[in-house]
Amino acid sequence: MCVQLPCLPFDTVKKRLVVDWSVELNIARYRLAGIVYWGADHFGARIVDDSLRVYRYDGMQSRGSLAFEFSLSSGVHRNTLSVMDRKVASMAVYARM
């Protein structure tokens, strides 16, 4: 399931948008699988694995490699998913659990 996020300025998104790592709809539950970010005239992404480890991808910075960033299991980084560097979250991708 893909969710298009509102196109808001960086400072607004950083303060107000929360991307949940788990969503329940009717009888199905979904977990966050990735987020696409837009800014500085290119896209970046974060990938979330089954263990809730978050990896970042920015082809202009990492030459096509994923880099471990943090784990969502502690809940500490929950509010940091709305932005990555100066890019804002533009799409969230969820996988059925």
What's the CA gap between 22 and 35, in Å, rounded? 13
pLDDT above 90: residue 10: no
pLDDT of 29 > 90? The answer is: yes
pLDDT at position 8 is 62
For residue 79, give its domain range. Answer: 2-96
Total count of domains within the chain: 1
- What is the distance between the alpha carbons of residues 38 and 49, in angstroms, rounded to a whole number? 21
Residue 67 pLDDT more than 90?
A: yes
Cβ 96 vs Cβ 30: under 8 Å: yes
If you average pLDDT over every residue of the chain, what do you get? 83
Q: What is the three-class DSSP state of 60? A: helix
Q: What is the mean pLDDT of residues 51-62?
A: 89
**Tokens coding 43:** 């896209």
pLDDT at 28: 93
pLDDT of residue 2: 65
